[in-house]
Each structure stands twice: as C-alpha cells, then as structure tokens.
Amino acid sequence: MDRSLPKEAAAEGGRFSGPAPEAVQAGLLAWYDRHRRRLPWRALPGETPDPYAVWLSEIMLQQTTVAAVKPYFEAFLARWPRVADLADAPLEEVLTAWAGLGYYARARNLHACAKAVTQRHGGRFPDSETELRDLPGIGPYTAAAIAAIAFDRPATPLDGNIERVTARLFAVTEPLPGVKPKLQALAATLTPAARPGDFAQAKMDLGATVCLPRTPKCLLCPLEALCSARAAGLADQLPRKAPKAPKPTRRGVAFWLTRPDGAVLLRRRPPKGLLGGMTELPSSDWTTEGPKEGAATAPAVVPWRALPGLVRHTFTHFHLELTVWVGRVQDWQDIDGFWVPLDGLGAAGLPSVMQKIAKHAIKAGG
DNA sequence: AAACCGTGGGG
DNA sequence: TCCCCAAGGTT
C-alpha cells in the first residue's frame, strides 16, 4: 500500500516535481500575516486558542459556509461557554439550537462528543489526532484541524479548500475523490514545523478568497510563481471531479392541523436518518411515486383541504415537492404529537423544510 | 465503498 | 432555473 508518496516522487529519490516547501511556507505565511480574516472562533496573534471553541467551529463549518455558521457559533458559545455545559444540556435543546444549520447528525455527535470529552478526558480536549479521531463527529479532517489550530501540532488537514490549493500547486489532474490520498500526501510535504496551525488556516483562507473554484484570482495569489497549474494554464480546471448522480424528485403530503385555540400539531422525528431527532410537521412518506392515499397517513380523521401550490425543497440527494393539507380538530386527546401556538413556532426549532411548510400554510390562511 | 445526510448563496 | 459549492463524517 504505497499511498505515502506519488510514484514519480519515489522514482526521483524522494524529491517532488512540485514547488519547494520552504518557498510555499514562507510565501503563504507572509500573506496570511497581512490578509488573515477575523473570524469569531479564530484566536488573535499571540492569543492561545480555546480548543472547545476551535472544535465547535470546526464541526459547524463541515460542509457549511462561514456566513451561515457565525450566528450559530455565537449563540452556542454564549449559551454553553464550556464543553461541560454542552454535555449537561438535554439533546433536544441542542437540536433546537442547531435547527436551520443542516446535517443534524452533527448536532447529535456534537452532544455525544461533549459528553465523551467531559467523561473520558476530564473536560479537556486531547491534543493528538489519534485521540481526537476517536471522538464522535471527528473524522480525519477535523482531527487534523483541531490538532493544528488548537494545539499547534504539525498535522495536515485536507478540506475542500486545501484539496483545491494542493491540486493546483502540484498540477494534479486525476479526479476526486480517487486522488484524495495523493493530495493528502502532497499536502503533508508542505506542512511546516513552525506555525502549522496558521499554515493550515492560511491555505483555507487562500482557497476561500483567492484560489477560488471557478475563477481563481491568480494575479492576486502569493503562490502564483510557485503554482504548477498556473504555469500549465490549468488552474481553473483543477481539481477535476467525478460526475455526480442526478437527484430524483420525491413527493408527499404535509399536514397542518390546528386546534380551536390556534395551536398547530408538531411531532419529533425518529432519532436517526433524515432530519433525525428534529421537530416536524406530520407528513406522509416522501416517495418518487408520490402519495397514493394521503389521508391514510393523516394524523387525524378530519375534513382536509389541500392548499394550492407546492412547497419545494432540495436535500443533499433528492428534490422534494410537498402538497400541504390543512384541517381543524375539536377533540385532540388521542392525537400523537404536541401542540405549539403560532407565535411559538419560531422557537420550536424547525428545520428549514418545516419552516417552509409552516410559512406556506400560514400565508394561505391555514 | 458507495450512499446517505441540509442549507443557502452565487454564477 | 439549475448546478455548484461550503473548514466532511458515518455506515
């Protein structure tokens, strides 16, 4: 299993046909000292990072933009200032606070990780990649990122930004995801012994602001003279990626059921899977065939009225089209779920798709 | 190992 | 409108 170095490197006795690491390190760190972004979770120069804040930000930032994360990060840190506070919180409260950020398994794992750090490590995050990797929700990227950023360990995180920067620096033309181990090995040859955390963040900042996916700003890049893809005129074509599978459309019915006092029926979803553990409006199954007997899955036997229009939403691997049915009940004692007044929906922690359903129903006068 | 798992912004 | 993408992990 030779995935430590590319073949051509071994053939050259360990030398890479890429830029000199010392030049990349010096150029990128100098650029970072001038252009570093001020982010809520980022320690200022000379400050000691808080591993809890670093971990929290890294989990939130998985597949999620900086702009989306900012308000959630602030809210979580204000509400649960230390990892033990988060560990003591009920999971439902964590899920409610996470609502709208997506990938809800992250919130479940966040809570489990807080408990593990509190119980297994006495409330302090471990500083080695291996121990970090053993915690829920922490994979290869996040373990390396925390080790480097929070503990200044010479680790080599490889996220989407660093994949792109590395593929271009070395002009790697094979497609992702197959080429990822090679990119990891190439990236590791660049990691400096001094300031590895800053170096990792510098690569991510460069990828986010200069070495962009579509139209890289090579004229502004501190590594332009060192970049093999730039020299070959390939920068805007790398990294190559395998084609993605098309998304099917699933259809279903969502039920907006209200009581005489105006409260609406909500439920909690099963603990795992899509939107696992989150609050929902009751609905039929979502299938590519569409609902045959919508009434059969309704939460109550009442006269249902289908609202005009559709609620559309796109998940990671399918499109969703929902019809909304509205109904009213007089007797609700045998109905499974819980009732929330309309002015309490905002605090109920609904995922975005459920917010869309509620908005559609309220606008239509449900 | 390939499938599953959210959301919002930008081109 | 549609596709791409974002500090990926789990099963």
pLDDT tens-digit map of A72-107: 999 999 999 999 999 999 999 999 999 999 999 999
Which CATH superfamily is A249-363 part of? Answer: Nucleoside Triphosphate Pyrophosphohydrolase (3.90.79.10)
Domain boundaries, chain A: 7-237, 249-363
Q: Is the separation of the CB atoms in A197 and A148 below 8 Å?
A: yes
pLDDT-derived band at A7 (thresholds 50, 70, 90) equals: very low
pLDDT digit string (tens) for A294-314?
667 899 999 999 999 999 999
* Strand B: positions under 7 A of a protein C-beta atom: 3-9, 11
Distance (Å, rounded) from C-alpha A43 to C-alpha A256? 46
How many percent of chain A have pLDDT more than 90? 91
**A304 in contact with nucleic chain B (CB within 7 A):** no
pTM (two decimals): 0.95
pLDDT value at residue A318: 97
Distance, in Å, from the CA atom of A54 to the CA atom of A182, rounded to the nearest integer, reads: 27
Q: Is any atom of nucleic acid chain B found less than 7 Å from the CB of residue A119?
A: no
Active-site hit among A8, A12, A47, A58: A58
CATH architecture, domain defined by A7-237: Orthogonal Bundle (1.10)
- Does residue A181 sit in helix, strand or coil? helix
Task: Count the Cβ atoms, other than its own, within 10 Å of residue A171.
Answer: 17
Secondary structure in 3-state letters for A171-240: CCCCCECCCHHHHHHHHHCCCCCCCHHHHHHHHHHHHHHCCCCCCCCHHHCCCHHHCHHHHHCCHHHCCC
Residues 200-229 of chain A within 7 A of strand C, judged by CB, are 201, 204-205, 207-208, 213-214
Our measurement of CA A274 to C1' C3, in angstroms, reads 23
| Amino acid whose CA is nearest the C1' of B3 | A317
